[in-house]
């Protein structure tokens, strides 16, 4: 019985890793469609989001079935509940990639972004994609220390997010209202995408340690000072 339960847990973990990879691919392609005004690629990203949604439904159904059949307690229960929350985070990253593609489709054949803003968004996309892929690796290895790495990457994303607004508000620079709105939305999509990757990593910390860290950076020694355990369940 225990062996079968562990196999289910391993499969759920593999599905989470697969979701992270699908999401990274979706964002990479959505960004390519944004930069190149490629309607076909944008449409494919929108259509393919159903694959991530289906994987989340399958994972959630599997987890609920395991909860019902195995009645896990303590650490095992924590693994199942955490997996359900991580699947929600990863499904949301796929939705955000779809939003980028939808905005590209909405503005086609015009560019949604002026050329001056594209380098900033290209860097945001690269950062976000790397973060969700790393989140998948952290899930697979149960590397609680990886959360520190992702939170530092999120600092980079936050800086880029601010730079977008600084550019839009630059004195003497006048942007059309539509450009301002679109750039604001897109910046938010990428920034939130990165936030979900961090959330996944923090859930892995909780899974491994039994302690929830509300986006508090661990100490340099790899330990998590000042946190309050929530119990083993």
For 122-179, the pLDDT digits (tens) are 999 999 999 999 999 999 999 988 999 999 999 999 999 999 999 999 988 889 999 9
Which is higher by pLDDT, 159 or 2? 159
Is 205 in contact with 136 (CB distance < 8 Å)?
Answer: no
Assigned CATH class of 2-209:
mainly alpha
User: Cα–Cα distance between 111 and 231 in angstroms, integer?
Assistant: 51
Q: Which burial class, exposed, middle or buried, applies to 226 when counting CB atoms under 10 A from its CB (0-12, 13-18, 19+)?
A: exposed
pLDDT at 76: 80
Query: For the chain, what are the domain ranges?
Result: 2-209
pLDDT at 214: 65
Res. 227 pLDDT band, cuts 50 70 90: very low
Tell whether the model's pLDDT for residue 226 goes beyond 80. no
pTM of the predicted protein model: 0.89
Pick the range with the lowest mean pLDDT from 70-84, 108-122, 152-166.
70-84
pLDDT at 218: 45
Res. 224 pLDDT band, cuts 50 70 90: very low
Tell whether the model's pLDDT for residue 84 goes beyond 80. yes
Mean pLDDT for all residues in the chain: 89
pLDDT at 231: 36
Which is higher by pLDDT, 67 or 216? 67
Q: Which of 128, 151, 131 is nearest to 213 (CA)?
A: 151
User: Cα–Cα distance between 129 and 26 in angstroms, integer?
Assistant: 9
pLDDT at 109: 96
In sequence order, the β-bridge partners of residue 211 are 229
Q: Read off the pLDDT of each residue in 69-88 and give the average, rounded to a whole number.
A: 85
User: Cα–Cα distance between 129 and 118 in angstroms, integer?
Assistant: 16
Q: Which residues contact residue 205 at a Cβ distance below 8 angstroms, ignoring those fewer than 6 apart? A: 144, 147, 211, 212, 213, 224
Res. 4 pLDDT band, cuts 50 70 90: confident
Convert the pLDDT of each residue in 184-193 to its tens digit: 999 999 999 9
Tell whether the model's pLDDT for residue 40 goes beyond 60. yes
Sign of the dihedral defined by the CA atoms of residues 145, 150, 156, 162, in that order: negative
pLDDT at 7: 87
């Amino acid at each position: 019985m225990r062996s079968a339960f562990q196999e289910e847990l391993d499969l759920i973990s593999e599905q989470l890793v697969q979701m992270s990879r699908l999401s990274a691919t979706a964002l990479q392609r959505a960004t390519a469609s944004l930069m190149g005004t490629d309607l076909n690629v944008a449409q494919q990203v929108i259509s393919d989001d159903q694959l991530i949604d289906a994987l989340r439904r399958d994972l959630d159904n599997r987890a609920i079935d395991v909860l019902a059949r195995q009645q896990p307690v303590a650490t095992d229960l924590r693994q199942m509940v955490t997996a359900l929350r991580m699947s929600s985070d990863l499904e949301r990253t796929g939705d955000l990639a779809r939003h980028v593609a939808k905005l590209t489709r909405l503005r086609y054949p015009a560019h949604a972004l002026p050329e001056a803003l594209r380098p900033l968004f290209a860097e945001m996309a690269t950062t976000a994609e790397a973060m969700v892929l790393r989140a998948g690796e952290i899930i697979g290895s149960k590397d609680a220390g990886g959360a520190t790495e992702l939170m530092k990457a999120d600092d980079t994303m936050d800086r880029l997010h601010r730079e977008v607004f600084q550019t839009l508000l630059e004195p003497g620079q006048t942007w059309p209202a539509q450009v301002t709105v679109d750039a604001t939305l897109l910046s938010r999509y990428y920034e939130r995408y990165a936030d979900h990757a961090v959330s996944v990593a923090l859930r892995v910390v909780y899974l491994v340690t039994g302690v929830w860290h509300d986006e508090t950076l661990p100490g340099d020694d790899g330990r998590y000072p000042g946190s309050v355990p929530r119990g083993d369940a």
